[in-house]
Amino acid sequence: MLDIKRIRKHTDEVAAGLAKRGYHLDVDAFNELDARRRALDMRSQGLLSERKQASRKVGELVKQGVPVDEAKQTVDVTLARLSAELDEVVADSRAVQAALDELLLTIPNVPAPEVPEGASEDDNLEILRWGEPRAFDFPVMDHVDLGAREGLLDFDEATKIAASRFAVLRGPLARLHRALIQFMLDLHSQEHGYTELNVPYLVNADSLRGTGQLPKFEEDLFRVVRDPALYLIPTAEVPVTNLVRDTIVDALPLKFVCHSPCFRSEAGSYGRDTRGMIRQHQFEKVELVQMVRPEDSSAALEALTGHAETVLQRLGLPYRKVLLCGGDIGFSSLKTYDLEVWLPGQQKYREISSCSNFGDFQARRMMARWRDPVDAKPAYLHTLNGSGLAVGRTLVAVLENYQQADGSVAVPEPLRPYMGGVMRI
């Protein structure tokens, strides 16, 4: 969440930054709640002081000649009145604080100054393109038709055993999917310095609030009905980032890589990408997460994005890198790069990784801090994450970009050791 002091002192600046993403900050509602909370806090402190002073009145009254019992009775009446009023003020203060906290949880992050203006993905800023899309001398098939050969990719069977927007992978295609995961994990852990993790696929509500999925995006989550409720993770970002929740870290940076399945209801995406594996309820990602010092987060975003780009480059997949505009940036993000891979079957670039710097936005929600060695005081750290990469979409890109005239698919050279030397499927 945003620093309340920042909103209080720089209200117009924060409101203008949020307007870049199309969010209207209700300044009047914030100011009213903030003023009421501070006034109630001041009244609470005043009543505590009055009660403390009143408790000393017995001795003063006795010195003035008032009988002890009468003095105690007089003071008890005053203390009872003050305590009753204090209880009322404290209850009001808690209610106002709860309303203020609820408001703060719904306010998105303020985009960085360099984030471009814009209302949708059409306004994103292209930073670079890598690789040239392949020129085919035969009719191009998409991954659905390629996978249908020998039943290697089956959506009907998945619908039978689950629902639409699921897939069954068989034989060499399932192995290619696994090879991509192992290749990515090895690359990031052995060459990019990330520590590999294996984490729970179910998380509690506190974890989702910490990374910003709750309360705003609850409809996009799969909730397991139990008490307390658990949710299937929408991304490994949630459990991995929450490792530092309610923690003071002594040394930074922390760099983690984690493969996991991801589960999303895709609420609001009805009718979009219904063909194939582009938008599924269950998919897999290799996620990169970093926790860094505040002064290092801008450079860390460039490095993390570069790590995701390396996967595409090693696999020889053409892609472009775009800086998301204010209207397309995620709720918690300060700045986001999307990597979009070229898909011959669609004749367009499609997102395969989203790499974001959240600043201290998630850290404030999680109470995730580090101890600055300069003054030894705890301070909020900065968090970042990005897909390195989305496995299913990478599989789609490999199938379509490496397809052959006979319908087979060449295996990219970096994946062959993970495929037992197989060169074509």
Residue 208 confidence (pLDDT): 98
Contact yes or no for 237/287 (Cβ under 8 A): yes
List of the chain residues with pLDDT < 70: 268-271
CATH class of 121-419: alpha beta
Distance CA 344, CA 134 (A): 8
Question: pLDDT tens, 222-280?
Answer: 999 888 999 999 999 999 999 999 999 999 999 999 999 999 998 766 667 889 999 99
Taking CA 237 as the corner, what is the angle to CA 236 and CA 242, rounded to the nearest 5 degrees?
A: 105
Residue 270 confidence (pLDDT): 64
Residue 57 confidence (pLDDT): 82
* Cβ atoms within 10 Å, residue 70: 11
The catalytic residues are 264, 279, 351, 354, 393
Q: Taking the complete model, does pTM exceed 0.85, yes or no?
A: yes
* CATH 1.10.287 is right for the domain spanning 26-106: yes
Distance CA 186, CA 310 (A): 12
- Sheet of 378-380, strand order: 247-249, 368-371, 378-380
The encoded tokens of residue 233 equal 């993770």
Residue 269 confidence (pLDDT): 67
* Cβ atoms within 10 Å, residue 340: 23
The encoded tokens of residue 208 equal 């989702």
The encoded tokens of residue 351 equal 């997102």
Domain boundaries, the chain: 26-106, 121-419
SS3 162: coil
Question: pLDDT tens, 2-36?
Answer: 999 999 999 999 999 999 999 999 999 999 999 99
Maximum alpha-carbon separation in the chain: 111
Distance CA 362, CA 365 (A): 5
The encoded tokens of residue 45 equal 């402190």
Element (H, E) at 68: helix 68-106
